[in-house]
Amino acid sequence: MPEENLCDSLQVESIADSRAIRPAYRRLMLLHHPDRNPGPDAQEMTQRLNHAYEVLRNADRRAAYDNELLWLG
């Protein structure tokens, strides 16, 4: 079971394609990257954003994730 909605993590719609996912990821990384944000949660947020981006940008991983959401739905 997914612990969080990856689209929510990247602040994109569930139907978002790579043209929406990449800019959202880059925008959020600029805000939350530990080199730019010394806050205590920056490392965790960066890891969450990286994970979401890695899954959602890969067609096979995205399809598996979407299917998992449908079954849990």
**Could you state, in chain order, the average pLDDT of each consecutive group of 10 residues for the chain (73 residues)?**
82 95 98 92 95 97 93 77
The CATH code of domain 6-72 reads 1.10.287.110
pLDDT digits (tens, 9 = 90+) for 37-56: 998 999 999 999 999 999 99
Angle between helices 42-57 and 59-72 (to 10 degrees): 100
* pLDDT given at position 57: 97
* pLDDT given at position 2: 56
* pLDDT given at position 1: 45
**What is the distance between the alpha carbons of residues 58 and 18, in angstroms, rounded to a whole number?**
9
